[in-house]
Amino acid sequence: MKRFLTVVAAVAMIACNRNRLGPQPTEASHETRVSGQADARLPAYGAPQSYADVVDRVSPAVVTIRSARRVRAPQQFPFSDDPFFRRFFGDRLPNSPRGGGSNIERGLGSGVIVNATGDILTNHHVVDGAEQITVEMPNRKTYSAKLVGSDAPSDLAVLKIEASSLPTLSLGDSDQVRVGDVCLAIGNPLGIGETVTAGIVSAKSRATGLSDGSFEDFLQTDAAINQGNSGGALVNTNGELIGINSQILSTTGGNIGIGFAIPSNMAKTVMAQLTKGGKVHRGQLGVAIQPVTSDIAANLGLKEVRGVLVSGVTPGSPADRAGLKTGDVITAINAQPTNGSNELRNRVASTAPGTEVTLTVIRNGKEQAVKAVLGELTPEAARNQQSGSGPGDGGGGQLGLSVQPMTPDDAAQLGLPRNTSGLLIDSVDPSGPAAEAGIQSGDVIVEVNRQTVRSAADLQSGLKKSGAQPALLLINRGGHTIFVTVRPR
């Protein structure tokens, strides 16, 4: 009887411990995890002990890219070719060879094989200006690569090697990636050889401003990324490519856990165009835009802080022809909400020129639909997107600045059209509200609270409309307009 009670107690203790540990995997689920699909699916009781199955499957498709170009060596003695100096020094002068010297500049990066016939995705900056490109496989076999096409705004490039039956990585849907998802970064950091690091997706839709910045929409990750990882793969635990590693933010030059990858959906669109014609065609709307802040929302009478504010419309552009106006708030494109300037810019750019889009716009507190046919973005248009009766107070005392009416000569000195109107800011009190809002001397006030201003009286009248809310100023700076909110004294 005593032995029986001991057995019962032991069984009860085991059952208690199993309940404390949570549900246990069945034999069937264990077999699916280790011998079925190599996707590191998480069993009910916690994280996998290894991502080796995923790595074994995807790493053969990640390659090392070496580039080389010849650059002219700087002349240490600038007068080495001057006959006067050569009379005295002859060939003893530094850099005396008349032909001039040159050096070989070498670059290192990574790439991803995306089809079995040799197309490889990498970064534009890895191969920019390269005269010779070599692809090294994980088994150390090398190929000479040809540049199919390169796109600086997205920092993507496509290479081609003459090979067949290559291992490939399938492109996943980066729109479905969630912050907190586990991800693996694979590449050749610092040239030490293929390396795998693990982390999570830390954020989405990031813009760093470290590169061209035109169409940044990065996935951010804390998986270790270093020099040489550029162009390598960011994969999910299903072994799908979700991003092309591109940049890091660092105070040291090395990894501090803030890395960025170009989303696979953007890479897919750019790659298709580069492969087809060697060039990327992007849609253009022709507006300058900025985020909607809480102060701007309050001033415009918006119930929510959402959408993007149109701070300028290019004359003759698709936006101008569609009837968009400065001060409109765009809240959606083709019924998909948009809350960030970068988000709207990327959506327009990824749409083919000539496509009709429907914009949801709030104007004077009322929502309406505006249809526009997109033009094609040019380099010049891309840059534009980034984008009293004499001296004295002139009614700007409440803002901490002094203004004067704009004259044609003032406009010419500022590089603006001579018919530019508004109030020219002469000076800004460093401790005043205008300086705090980022307003500078040389800026031109075009509107105050949606009222056009050409005189001190206009400025004072416009400021009275603010009431307890900040004043909304439309500023012309160097030919580009932007809305600024200022709380008058």
**Residue 309 half-sphere exposure, CB side, CA atoms within 13 Å?**
25
C-alpha to C-alpha distances, 486 to 192, 226, 290, 426, nearest whole angstrom? 53, 42, 16, 17
CA distance 97 to 368: 71
**Which of 39, 53, 119, 125 is labelled catalytic?**
125
DSSP codes, 189-252: GGGS--EEEEEEEEEEEE---SS--TT--EEEE-S---TT-TT-EEEETTS-EEEEEEEE--SS
Which of 109, 106, 126, 121 shows the shortest CA–CA distance to 191? 109
Paired sense of beta strands 283-284 and 308-313, if any:
unpaired
CA distance 64 to 108: 7
**Residue 402 half-sphere exposure, CB side, CA atoms within 13 Å?**
8
**Which of 155, 295, 328, 458 is labelled catalytic?**
155
User: For the chain, first and last CA: distance in Å?
Assistant: 91
**Which of 230, 311, 317, 341 is labelled catalytic?**
230
Paired sense of beta strands 451-452 and 308-313, if any:
unpaired
CA distance 29 to 123: 40
Respond yes or no: is residue 125 known to be catalytic.
yes
CA distance 402 to 441: 9
Q: Catalytic residues, which ones?
A: 125, 155, 230
